Structure 1
Amino acid sequence: MAKIKILFIWAFGLISFIPVFVYSQTDIDNTISEYLQKEKVSDTLLLKTYEQLESSFIEHKLDSILSKIYAKSYLKKAKNENDSIKMADGYYFISKICSSDIEINYLDSLIMVSKNLKHIKYPGVGYLNKGVCFYDKEDYTKALENYLIAQEYANQNKNVHHQITIKHNIGLLKKEIDATAEALFEFKQNLNFIKTQDTVNKYSKNHIITLFAIADSYHRMDLPDSASIYVKKGLHKTFKRKDKYKYTGFLLLDGINNYMLKDYQKSLDSLYKVSQRIQDAERYNPNEAYCYIQIARALQKLRQNDKAIYYLKKADTIITAENYTDEKRIAYEILIDYYKDLGDTQNQLKMMSKLIIFDSIYYAKNKNVKSDIITKYDTALLIDERNVIIDKLEQQKKISNRSIFILIGVTIVLIIIVWNYYRKQKLYKKRFIQLINDDGKRNIEQLKREETEGLSKQELDLPDEIIKSILKQLELFEQNNEFLNPNIKMSSVAKKLKTNSTYFSKVINLYKKKNFANYVNDLRIEYCIEKLKYDPKFRLYSIESIGEEVGFSSIQSFSRAFTKKTGITTSYFIKSIDKQ
């Protein structure tokens, strides 16, 4: 049976998907130096002690602006004093808050400045975090190379925390290549090692994650009786620590375990609790769809097929090309058979087409998946079966020649969709990075040059005093965020600026290069982007509420304006910023 895909990966920095870039050390230092000059780190901050800067960094770690200022100040102070250990600390802090695209470069800088130090943490932590980066990129060879280097430093420096972490992550690598028995051996050794330390509570988080990894390994080996012991221990420890997220994870394991033990009602009891906890939780849970699938499978065993189909349809509504995994494949296999038995050819073809798209994208992204794995509904079989259905429908004269061409066209469209998906995702990512790296501040002198370029008094046919007055009032209008008023009209603004609509419209069109409506909408979107970037609570609002907060009267007008201004959708921007 499909196994749960919850992997707790340990590291000492942010864990995220990172593309590999090759930079020289000089390139990295120049980039950072330019950034520090741009940031203009306050001399007052440089007078603070390292302890004060680190404390402020930790205190404001959820504030991307302040945490960056303190981390950059820490690094600049260390560079001014030529303190290698403190420089390593600075690079380490920055790697925890920077975007995933450059995290690996800061880790390389950390390694470079600390490679000749004899320190319990450095440079080992740099290699450890690089290993996690490559694991996320599914480059398991490079991940292992970095883990082994980190292990040498951990053993040499007797860094117990690193030793536990590295051994666990190597176990995860072995699970990825289906060496589950060897992975289990690593996890059990880790558990025994943790127990030999002064106190298990000191490594309580490590203990919990190891229990999870052992239970999951036993599931993959179809040994639910052995898994039960570790699932119960995990439930007890996470409940005692009030760790709601990991407790939910162990509840899901418990539901799977009881399913494997053929206690389907008990399995449902746990899975229903998981479903409810996921609904109640504020944070995103990647196992929501998988939970619904497991509920459906248990219901099928209890011959409650209608309810099972309900949960599979529910899972289908939240499965996308981005979150699809091979564990979710069974949902479409069951739905295809369900619609086939009903004789509902339209929905049968719809599920087949979805599965073909998801499989194509998933296996293109996961090239390490073994090619010899044979599933009932692999892509070739799905296409063949779909063609059989089309032929049968044609023979029985249930569809017209036009419908056949439509179905062929759908196949072509599906291919185009897959191609467009990759192209659009690449473009979206590029535009997102541009938006996230834009500090939102305008270069006033450049803006003025752009606004006045090619203008003449004859074009406006207005006195200089009136133009200057309107532009000055517009500057205040923007500074005071008056554009957030949902009922704003050009006539009312012109009246407030003590001018007429004709003059006002001419100045807007010529100096702002757009009409009044587009001018206001662009200001609102710029304000919205900055607030989404730096206000985590604001990102929790629904898209409709976000639009209302920045002055739009409907979700449609907000979405259109956001996409027109940024080139990406609001939901994509929010999801991408949450992944950082």
Structure 2
Amino acid sequence: MRHVILILFWGLTTTIQATTPSVSTDSIHTLKHVLKIHLSYPDSALRLLDTMEETNTAPLFLLQAQRAMLYGSHNKHHLVINYGQKALQHDSLQACPKYYLQTLTCCVEAYRKLNEHHQAIHLLEKGLAFARAQKNPTVEANFLFTAGQTYYQLNKKKEANQYFQKAIRLGEEGSYKLKPYLSYFYGEIFSILFDEGKYQEALEYCDKREKLIQQMSSFKQIPIGYIDQQYAYLYSKKACVLSRLNRKAEAATYYHKFKQTRFSHTPQGQESILVYWMEIGQYDSVIQFCQQQKPHDTITSDYAQQLTIQAKAHEGKKEYKRALEYQKRLTAINDSLNKKNIEEEMAELATIYQLKEKENEIQQQHEQIQKTIIIRNLLAGAFGLVCLLLWMAWHHLRTIQKKNRLMANSINTVLDCEQKIETLEKETSFTQEKEEAEETSVETDSHLFKRMEQIIKEEKLFLNPDLNRQDILNRLPIDKNRFAKIMQENSQTTLPQYLSNLRIKYAINQLKEHPNYTIQAIADESGFSNLRSFQRIFKAKTGMTPSEYKTAIEQTISEK
């Protein structure tokens, strides 16, 4: 999908200049400058975007789109979706076609990386409709092919093939500008067929690609270096598939053609021939190539791929001990990669959580300002006092309803983030806690609290309105004098407050899942001793009563 993003960057500078307020030509506070530095200096680019948002240097939706693109370049998929979806909600974004398509592309890529393929398909359908309306066959073809890849990942091969063929048909019927993308399509379909063991069909796509490259070589607009690269890729793939078809002599001929290309002498070119070397038993060449590559960071998927290739090469040489050594290193790298990915995802979710909190705070400040203005207007004139009071009552009701809907959505978002963070924390901290517990016979206060919290949540003890301290002490090796200290240090609350928090969260979920339940039924099911206590605590925690929250949720659903 990255090649689609590169397409959209062409001419993006013109779009930026046409849609942003006029500023000094040497100013760094421009989207053009941010676009220029966002890959090399992402932190500086983010600070510039913050300043531009504070000073209203550019429209907010363009800044949000730029943030989505920036985070997409650094694989922060949750943040891409957070800002990209906000930008897409602005109708004005469609007035900037390149920005709109770029934002769609970034969000599609993020959803695919997060395995949320149905969301990706929904955005691809919007992108296809827009590309057709804009009469942009290049973007349309790429969106069609990406849709095919997404359906293929969902194991819907029939639908995937339909989209693949539509994309190919556009490429075959289009101008020279579409031919490089058509070559890419042929190559990707070859890889799919090759992996499925459909070697004869894969060979047919190689033949199509060879004819296409011959055609492209006659176009003066296409660089010679690109043609050389395409021939190198083609020859390496064709040598592999011919070898699998046991047509060894023909495979050797295409391997010889591959070596005659300039691209074959580059690291990328040599990497493309590794599969063929494995096919013909040139394991030493494979091992030598991998050892010559010196990664800047060993905790990467590229380095893990190198280890996999070297392990297979040593297996081919029947050097099973060496192969096992590489497999062990690969296992360690994969464990580190998983841990690194979890930590990065936790950091992203924490950032989104903080952004939501900040947005809530700004909203509350805005509402406070609105109330202040209303009060000042009331004091400004007595003549229209009655009319003004009537207007205030109406406006206040609307404001409360809007606030309740916003607060309900915010509460739901915060709870979702807390659940995701809690899940990720369990995954990363379980092993460490187990090792620390084995090293000492005396459990720390933190361990005891986590054990207590696990028992209360998993067994839903908090739903018992009569649950007290002694019930918990009976389950854990804690004396009553130490219990209060553990609660205060680890939750900053007392046991009744802690249980009330859990009951409120449970009640919120029940209100969402069972809209037909009465408030009394929710209170009873959530572990509250009486309705009055439930309403008082709910109001203190959320800023609204259970009935107001229920109404806000119903209004939000009806608006959708």
TM-score by length of 2: 0.44
**Structure 1 or 2: more helix by fraction:** 2
Larger Rg: 2
> Which TM-score applies when normalising by structure 1?
0.43
Which structure would you say has the larger RCO, counting Cα contacts within 8 Å and 6 or more residues apart?
1
